[in-house]
Amino acid sequence: MFVFRILRHNRRLYSTIILLLIAFCFSRLTLYLYRKDLIQNIPSSTTITTEKSILIDEPESSKTIGKNTFDKYSSDEHLLSLLTQYSNTFKQVVITIIGGDSYSLFAWDWYERMRETSNNTNKCHCFVVAMDEIAVILAIKQGVPVYYSTFTFEQQINWINSIEAKQHSLYRVGHAKFDTTARIVRMGYSVILSEMDVFWRSYPLDHLKQPINAYDLQISDHFGSHPRVNIGIFFVRSTNTSIEFFSFVADFWLRYGKGGFLSDQRVLDAFLKNYDRLDKTYLKAIKTIPTVYWAPHAFGFRFSHMMTDGNAFELFDRAEKLGIRSQKYYGDQNAKYFTVTISNTAMTINNRNLLIRALLILQYTHLKNRILILPAFTHSLTAITLRSQLDEKKFLLYWSDKYIRLPSFLLHNKTRSIPITNLTLSLNKKYDDINGILNLSIDSIPLNLPAPSPQFEVLIRDSLLWCSPPVENGRGWCSHHPRDFGATMDLLFACRGDPYPPCANKTGKNEQFLYRPYE
Tens-place pLDDT, residues 358-391: 999 999 999 998 999 999 888 887 788 888 899 9
Residues 373 and 287 in one domain: no
| pLDDT-derived band at 29, boundaries 50, 70, 90 | low
Are the beta carbons of 361 and 456 closer than 8 angstroms? yes
Residues 272 and 378 in one domain: no
Q: What is the pLDDT of residue 153?
A: 86
> How many distinct structural domains can be found in the chain?
2
Containing domain of residue 299, as a range? 69-305
Residue 361 falls inside a structural domain: yes
Residues 169 and 232 in one domain: yes
Q: What is the pLDDT of residue 496?
A: 40
Residues 132 and 222 in one domain: yes
Ranges assigned E (strand) in 229-382: 229-236, 294-296, 303-305, 336-340, 371-373
| pLDDT-derived band at 57, boundaries 50, 70, 90 | very low
Residues 240 and 388 in one domain: no
Last residue of a domain, one of 266, 289, 305: 305
Residue 274 falls inside a structural domain: yes
Residues 358 and 425 in one domain: yes
Residue 262 falls inside a structural domain: yes
Residues 105 and 217 in one domain: yes
Residue 123 falls inside a structural domain: yes
Residue 422 falls inside a structural domain: yes
Are the beta carbons of 267 and 289 closer than 8 angstroms? no
Residues 336 and 295 in one domain: no
Residues 300 and 338 in one domain: no
Last residue of a domain, one of 253, 286, 305: 305
Answer yes or no: is pLDDT of 270 > 80: yes
| pLDDT-derived band at 345, boundaries 50, 70, 90 | confident
Enter the DSSP assignment of 513.
-
Percent of the chain as helix, strand, coil, to the nearest 5: 45, 15, 45
54-63, 94-103, 155-164, 465-474: least confidently modelled range: 54-63
In the chain, what is the straight-line distance between the N-terminal and C-terminal CA atoms, in Å?
118
Residues 338 and 294 in one domain: no
Enter the DSSP assignment of 66.
B
Other residues' Cβ atoms within 10 Å of the Cβ of residue 331: 19
Taking alpha carbons only, the member of 327, 336, 331 closest to residue 439 is 336
Tens-place pLDDT, residues 290-303: 999 999 999 988 98
Residues 287 and 198 in one domain: yes
Residues 203 and 340 in one domain: no
Residue 466 falls inside a structural domain: yes
The model's pTM is: 0.79
Residue 480 falls inside a structural domain: no
Q: What is the pLDDT of residue 32?
A: 60
Residue 467 falls inside a structural domain: yes
CATH number (domain holding residue 143) = 3.90.550
Last residue of a domain, one of 286, 305, 324: 305
Its sign, for the CA torsion 500, 502, 507, 511, is negative
Q: How far is CA 417 from CA 25, 72, 178, 380, 421, in A?
A: 81, 45, 44, 20, 13
Q: Could you tell me if residue 301 is left (phi over 0), alpha (psi between -120 and 50 degrees) or otherwise beta?
A: left
